[in-house]
Amino acid sequence: MNGNMDYESFFKQSVDTIKNEGRYRVFANLERQAGNYPHAINRRADATENVVVWCSNDYLGQSQNPVVREALVEAAQQFGCGSGGTRNISGTTHLHVILEEELAQLHNKEAALLFTSGYVSNDAAISTIAKLVPNCVILSDEWNHASMIAGVRNSGCEKLIYRHCDMTHLEELLQGVDSDRSKLIVFESVYSMDGDISPIGEICDLADKYGAMTYIDEVHAVGLYGETGGGISECDGLADRLTVIEGTLAKGFGMVGGYIAASNALVDAIRSNAPGFIFTTTLPPPVIGGAIASVRYVREHNELRIKHQERAATLKRMVADAGLPLMDSVTHIVPVMVGDPVLCKRATDMLLEDYNIYIQPINYPTVPKGTERLRITPTPFHSDELMEDLVRALVEVWQRLELKQAA
Ligand SMILES: *Cc1c(COP(=O)(O)O)cnc(C)c1O
């Protein structure tokens, strides 16, 4: 027995490994300034700089929308700050009920259920759904987000991973599953590291053919796509065919929290069974008040979505025209390939230090090794002028580090 185990050394070793691989993460110490999006103050060790944020998931700047800020403050004044409990034990306020109704309507579903985050909603809902049906097999896209993988794992059910958006492979796997077993296909609409979109209609066709349920993560699409911001499923008129639509309040809606929208029976079952829903204090009333205002605002302002798409298309064109290796993206995500973790980190350090441009490097395990990239997220608030500054800086950084140009 070793009574003097040096536990600390294990933690240090783990971090050293990450550092040696060039993927040690440093948080940017930012002060966002309400009303001045996408500008922020960066508090560096030695200086304080004004920077332009180019990597936020606050896609529509809703976190700073005066309407949302006002609703949040008003809810705090009226109902107080904390919710005071779990949903079962005094934590359900009238605001929670209103927001769930609003979200159910957004997705044209009978009901919706709130969770403390999108991560928790995926983990709790996927694991619980799969446990509740007999002998379930989960079919999961290989690029699914960590929160969906957690849900699949925590279900304890058999899982089959299909190649990203490969419908032939998905069908092969479905054919191999006994027809009397329950099946759940889990996937995302917009994959946010590449900016591609799943063939939702084809997945629904296969689900119908093989008697499977469908669970779609629309986290990077809610608020951003469809006439009222219902996501790609609204855009494509497919909401009715999906068993569960999952979303977040944290990205397009600029707040925090996650949710699912589905049938009354399914939502009631999750509400009654999922530990990740039952055993945690629910979101505070100010957050819910802000979220209601944000969802309503975003539903009514389609021009925000049109502008968002125009901004992304403009930036993509400028990046490509400059000879930079823009990756294929059919959405608002503008990914630029670097292909090396150390260079990727060095490029973003240089952008921040020398150009006051903040883009977080995207490294493993968020993306596969060798595909390290810059992931740029223009919003309706990024002007032509800011884009010109950005592209000029990128071109210089590409030259200084001798990074790969477009093929
Ligand atoms: C960000 C993200 C989540 C988690 O949502 P949060 O509300 O941030 O917890 C879930 N799925 C995908 C695909 C995401 O990118």
Q: For the segment 202-261, what is each residue's pLDDT rounded down to a tens digit? A: 999 999 999 999 999 999 999 999 999 999 999 999 999 999 999 999 999 999 999 999
CA distances from 309 to 13, 35, 45, 182, 298 (A): 44, 21, 37, 39, 15
Q: Is the CB of 188 under 6 A from ligand 1?
A: yes
* Structure confidence at residue 317 (pLDDT): 98
Q: Is the CB of 258 under 6 A from ligand 1?
A: yes
- In this predicted model, what pLDDT tens digit does every residue of 291-305 receive, in sequence order? 999 999 999 999 999
Q: Is the CB of 147 under 6 A from ligand 1?
A: yes
- In this predicted model, what pLDDT tens digit does every residue of 339-377 receive, in sequence order? 999 999 999 999 999 999 999 999 988 899 999 999 999
Ligand 1 pocket check: which of 103, 145, 148, 375 to mutate, most ligand atoms within 8 Å of Cβ? 145
Q: What is the mean pLDDT of residues 116-135?
A: 98
Give the position, in ligand 1's atom list, of the atom nearest the Cα of 248: 7
Kindly give the distance from the C-alpha atom of residue 379 to the centroid of ligand 1, in angstroms, as a whole number: 18
Q: Is the CB of 151 under 6 A from ligand 1?
A: no
Q: What is the mean pLDDT of residues 99-106?
A: 98
Percent of the chain with pLDDT strictly greater than 70: 100
* Structure confidence at residue 22 (pLDDT): 78
- Identity of the residue numbered 19: K
* Structure confidence at residue 2 (pLDDT): 62
Q: How far apart are the first and last CA of the chain?
A: 59
Q: What is the mean pLDDT of residues 285-290?
A: 98
Q: Is the CB of 123 under 6 A from ligand 1?
A: no
Q: Is the CB of 37 under 6 A from ligand 1?
A: no
Q: Is the CB of 56 under 6 A from ligand 1?
A: no
Q: Is the CB of 276 under 6 A from ligand 1?
A: no
CA-CA distance, 227 to 299, in Å (whole number)? 8
Give the position, in ligand 1's atom list, of the atom nearest the Cα of 249: 7
Give the position, in ligand 1's atom list, of the atom nearest the Cα of 192: 15
- In this predicted model, what pLDDT tens digit does every residue of 7-34 receive, in sequence order? 999 999 999 999 998 778 888 899 999 9
Task: Give the strands of the sheet with 111-115, arranged side by side.
Answer: 111-115, 258-262, 244-248, 213-217, 183-188, 137-141, 158-162
- In this predicted model, what pLDDT tens digit does every residue of 57-81 receive, in sequence order? 999 999 999 999 999 999 999 999 9
Q: 3-class secondary structure for 10-56?
A: HHHHHHHHHHHCCCCCCCCCEEECCCCCCEEEEECCCCEEEEEECCC
Number of Cβ within 10 Å of residue 70's Cβ equals 13
* Structure confidence at residue 3 (pLDDT): 75
Kindly give the distance from the C-alpha atom of residue 158 to the centroid of ligand 1, in angstroms, as a whole number: 24
109, 183, 251, 345: which is the annotated catalytic residue?
251
Ligand 1 pocket check: which of 120, 144, 147 to mutate, most ligand atoms within 8 Å of Cβ? 147
| Contact call for residues 356 and 284 (beta carbons, < 8 A) | no
Give the position, in ligand 1's atom list, of the atom nearest the Cα of 258: 7
Q: Is the CB of 119 under 6 A from ligand 1?
A: yes
**pLDDT band with cut points at 50, 70 and 90 for residue 307:** very high
- In this predicted model, what pLDDT tens digit does every residue of 140-157 receive, in sequence order? 999 999 999 999 999 999
Q: What is the phi/psi pair of residue 107, to 5°?
A: -105, 10
Q: pTM to 2 decimals?
A: 0.96
Q: Is the CB of 329 under 6 A from ligand 1?
A: no
Q: What is the mean pLDDT of residues 310-336?
A: 98
Q: Is the CB of 375 under 6 A from ligand 1?
A: no
Per the annotation, the verdict on 251 as an active-site residue is yes
Going by alpha carbons, the residue nearest to atom 13 of ligand 1 is: 145
Kindly give the distance from the C-alpha atom of residue 248 to the centroid of ligand 1, in angstroms, as a whole number: 7
Ligand 1 pocket check: which of 57, 119, 256 to mutate, most ligand atoms within 8 Å of Cβ? 119
**pLDDT band with cut points at 50, 70 and 90 for residue 407:** confident
Helix (H, G, I), strand (E, B) or coil at 171: helix
Mean pLDDT (the chain, rounded): 96
CA-CA distance, 147 to 161, in Å (whole number)? 15
- In this predicted model, what pLDDT tens digit does every residue of 164-177 receive, in sequence order? 999 999 999 999 99
Percent of the chain with pLDDT strictly greater than 90: 94
Distance of CA 365 to the CA centre of its chain: 16
Going by alpha carbons, the residue nearest to atom 5 of ligand 1 is: 118
Kindly give the distance from the C-alpha atom of residue 403 to the centroid of ligand 1, in angstroms, as a whole number: 30
CA-CA distance, 43 to 101, in Å (whole number)? 41
* Structure confidence at residue 1 (pLDDT): 54
Q: Which of 119, 188, 183 is nearest to 151 (CA)?
A: 119
- How is residue 349 written in tokens? 């350090």
- In this predicted model, what pLDDT tens digit does every residue of 200-219 receive, in sequence order? 999 999 999 999 999 999 99
Q: Which residue has the tokens 């699912």?
A: 260
